[in-house]
Structure 1
Amino acid sequence: MRITSLKPMVGACLSLAGGLAFGLASLAHAEEFTMPHLLVIGTPGTSSGSFASTNGWGPILQKDLGTNVRVVPEDSEVQRHRRLTERRDLALSSVSTAELRFQIQGIGHYATMTPVPQRVIWHHNDTPWSFVVSGDSDLHTMDDLKKGGVRVARGQFSPPMIAAVTDALPAYLGMTSAEGAENLRFVPASSYVENCRAVVEGKADVAYCATISSVMAEMEGAPGGIRWLSMDLDSSQAWEGFLEHRPMVVPGTISMGVSSAKGVDGLVSNFLYAAPADADEAFAYTMAKWFHQSYDTYKGSHPLSTRMSLEVFREYLNRSPLPVHEGTVRYLKEVNVWTEEDDKLNQEAIKKMDSWMVARRAALAEAKESGIEPNMNNDRFMAIVDKHTQGLEGFRTRL
């Protein structure tokens, strides 16, 4: 996908020639590791591109590595995170960088959960998002949303999606969150599909959706179709406001997904395959090696799988603020696409994540000792969280 950033991309362009000349020596560590009998991978719900694309490469990995691959759709981001980090019945999770930030920093309901450090295993996709309306809507530009009384679908299942419409959208329009609550009418939706369909079912005037999800193709084919409101890349002030609340996204012109969205200015949200930091190094190494070596075999299984190449992953690393798993790092070093600068940035990312984990554990411990219920709606608990995390630097994409 072509990405047109508001700021110039930082980072040197590295040749991948050495990485493509992959020899037998790199197989040594992999041979020491036996894949688990069952590999369970969590993704967003069945209508998501993440679920479809993971189901595309899963059978190929199963055949190659002899492990039974099970892809589990879980619409609730909180529940999928709990299964990965607490219940440990998922080995990998396809998760957006926006959601990872919420999980790491304990934003919203995540503040009440036991903090668990995570690591990036591989790049999954870079999903285009924007605001969609019905084809016969009288809303034609983002500025039209300022007229007041506009009904905005609000997905209750994902904290970042809530932030996108209740905080980031008003900021883009030049409003505070409080002013947004006064001027916009938020319509709750219990699932991603319900959130998007709301505009063609007449329940909402505008919704925040991914252009590549299957439900968008269904909506595009509905009577009247759909349209997308362009988020003008030249509107620097508007984007600064949006990024204040959604700091992990990248502004860009959409070139993937339903035809009605192509050429429209929107944003990109990267999805990654992530695992707990204590996941076996040999497992991460084996997965990274397979994702790279088998790319030509699985890239045709789904359009999003084309975004899992080593080249795309390398480009993403140039701007990622998130720590990469040591097993993946070892593999990337072997194929000569990991630099000393990457090492420095990765250690800084690990240190930053650890500082959030320590602070949040301390907050939960204090709340327990004080008999205060860990609840995001409990002001006394959130005050404790704020006290322990005050001054910590948040995660933000390097543009």
Structure 2
Amino acid sequence: MKVIHAASLSLALAGAAAAQELPKTMIWSSYDVGSAGYAEASAIADAFGKEFGTRVRIQPSGSSIGRLQPLLQGRADYAFLATEAFFLSEGAYDFATPEWGPRPLRAIAGRPASTAMAAAADSGIKTVADARGKRIAFVAGNPSINVKCEAILAFGGLTLDDVEVITFPTYAAAMSSMTRNESDATCTSPTTSQFYELAESPRGIFYPPLEPDNAEGWAKLEKVLPIMSPQSETVAAGLPEGETAQMAAYRYPVIATTPDKSADDVYAFIKALDESYDLYKEGTATMERWSLDQAGKPPIDVPFHEGAIRYLKEKGIWTAEDDAWNDKRIARQDALIAAWEPFKAENAGLPEDEFAAAWMARRAEVVASLD
């Protein structure tokens, strides 16, 4: 009896030690209340509380800077981000300013999310290349949407000069523009509500395929945005049940932190993310994609954190090919950061828009030099 009691006590203490790997409290930043990012962060936070007794406070923000500032200033432990993770690491778009520039981030995991070119079925766009000369809807001030469309156009051998870009003032206006016959195609999640309206409209909807075996097309796409990979999607507006459309996957949300976050802390976080999966995987329709065999693999917006890689290797998920991808991604980030300070000093007197354009050109040169 005494031996059994001692063994039971030992197991109990071991369980308590595992639970104590996480801090008692954490702060995460995320997209605004009502977004998929906030809903998923909330479901994971609830699972952490139930499984490990960790209390998580989520700070929602509708802006990329509002999600990043708490993380960079040490006021948040982790951030549930969108493509701003990539933009910050490159100093691109909103971050191509003297106050920002490229800054290092590290990923812990990121749930795959589909994106696609959706065309009005009567537009004649059956392949991405068919978009030449067509009206493509962009969103004012939304580089996350627009750059994905630019990358998908590149898959078909097209640039923005080959199409008629029509910029709409809001996301909703852009996504509904095809139904109003104000555009012929655009790019975003295939389950956005406006696409269901398009599918039911007289114009109909069609998804030009991003064939996974088109190596040349994918190489061109990745030149523009090296964070996407092939995705076979079965859930999309207007897609008949049982059919599959060939799209692209990016990561949203991306759970990110800073490189100086303790490897042990990050290891404990991703381990908790994995061990509590059964508690949150049905939190939303897409949360089953947080399984680490999907969420813990490149490509992703920024390099993976060493603490996450340690756990992924232990689980048999991380491969030598993943190591090579991560090393290349760190080299790219480091090269851009090294180029930033001399560039900023040389261009200090430029107006903001000229400064941004000059940096984006310099950034392209740095990236090209790494190939």
Match of 1:196 among 172, 175, 179: 175
SS of the residue 1:356 aligns to: helix
1:348-371 CA-to-partner distances (Å, cap 9, x unmatched) read 543442232232233334444xx3
**Residue 102 (structure 1) aligned with residue 87 (structure 2):** yes
SS of the residue 2:82 aligns to: strand
The 8 Å contact of residues 128 and 266 in structure 1, kept in 2 or not, is answered as yes
The equivalent of 1:66 in structure 2 is: 54
Q: 2-side partners of 1:284 and 1:394: how far apart?
A: 32
Q: 2-side partners of 1:309 and 1:173: how far apart?
A: 32
Match of 2:44 among 34, 52, 57: 57
SS of the residue 1:132 aligns to: strand
1:215-257 CA-to-partner distances (Å, cap 9, x unmatched) read 3575368655851232252666555544432332223432234
The equivalent of 2:312 in structure 1 is: 332
Greater relative contact order, per chain length (Cα 8 Å cut-off, separation 6+): 1
Q: 2-side partners of 1:388 and 1:249: how far apart?
A: 20
Aligned pairs, number: 352
Match of 2:247 among 257, 262, 266: 266
**Residue 111 (structure 1) aligned with residue 96 (structure 2):** yes
The equivalent of 2:233 in structure 1 is: 254
The equivalent of 1:152 in structure 2 is: 136
The equivalent of 1:360 in structure 2 is: 340
SS of the residue 2:350 aligns to: coil
Q: 2-side partners of 1:82 and 1:395: how far apart?
A: 29
Match of 1:229 among 198, 202, 207: 207
The equivalent of 2:5 in structure 1 is: none
Q: 1:351 to 1:238 in 2, by over 3 A?
A: closer
Match of 1:42 among 25, 30, 46: 30
How far does residue 122 in structure 1 lie from its aligned partner after superposition? Answer: 1.6
RMSD (Å), alpha carbons: 3.8
Match of 2:78 among 72, 75, 91: 91
How far does residue 280 in structure 1 lie from its aligned partner after superposition? Answer: 4.2
How far does residue 267 in structure 1 lie from its aligned partner after superposition? Answer: 1.6
1:234-288 CA-to-partner distances (Å, cap 9, x unmatched) read 6665555444323322234322344527522222223321122233444422321
Amino acid aligned to 1:275: T
The equivalent of 1:178 in structure 2 is: 161
Q: 2-side partners of 1:164 and 1:269: how far apart?
A: 9
Question: Which segments of 5 or more consecutive residues in structure 1 lack a partner in the other structure?
Answer: 1-22
The 8 Å contact of residues 343 and 359 in structure 2, kept in 1 or not, is answered as yes
Q: 1:197 to 1:40 in 2, by over 3 A?
A: farther
Q: So what's the TM-score if we normalise by structure 2? A: 0.76
The 8 Å contact of residues 115 and 360 in structure 1, kept in 2 or not, is answered as yes
Question: Which segments of 5 or more consecutive residues in structure 2 lack a partner in the other structure?
Answer: 1-11
The 8 Å contact of residues 196 and 237 in structure 2, kept in 1 or not, is answered as no
Q: 2-side partners of 1:79 and 1:395: how far apart?
A: 32
Identity %, equivalent residues: 20
**Residue 123 (structure 1) aligned with residue 110 (structure 2):** yes
The equivalent of 1:11 in structure 2 is: none
